[in-house]
Amino acid sequence: MTKSITSFIKIGLCAIVALGFLAQAQAAADPTGTWSWTTPGRNGGPDRKTTLKLKLDGEKVTGTISSPGRNNAAATDTDIKDGKMTGDEISFSVTREFNGNSMTTKYSGKVTADTIKGKIESERNGQTNSRDWEAKKDTEKK
């Protein structure tokens, strides 16, 4: 009987330790915060900085993306949609309106403590375009 109690205690302790590691892994993959990246400007123009503000609630991700306007126009904020986080994988979409047309861009990636690396996909003229993206977490205190 003592052996079975000892075995049960060992199994219980292992389960507690495993849950602790799982909780730490989930915390390390929290996308909550401000992220940014730059892309080259068109036709040799200045780089364009995009800012992403995210909040995680369970597996649901909400937030906004701020994209620079064309021809030095002010940046525009757009809500993200369908945001979700599974483990360290994030995905969301952004739908923008241009001259009466809408375009949806899908973002996916892997989140670490200070980087999101993944793919951006959009469709134009029936063709799916895909490119890499890498955002860095803003660590400035404001």
| Residue range 50-73, pLDDT digits in tens | 999 999 999 999 999 998 876 666
Q: What is the DSSP letter of 87?
A: T
pLDDT digits (tens, 9 = 90+) for 92-111: 999 988 788 888 999 999 99
Percent helix, percent strand, percent coil in the chain, to nearest 5: 25, 55, 25
Residue 30 DSSP SS3? coil
Percentage with pLDDT > 90 across the chain: 53
Q: Which of 126, 138, 127, 134 is nearest to 108 (CA)?
A: 134
Residue 75: the pLDDT is 82
pLDDT over threshold 80, residue 8: no
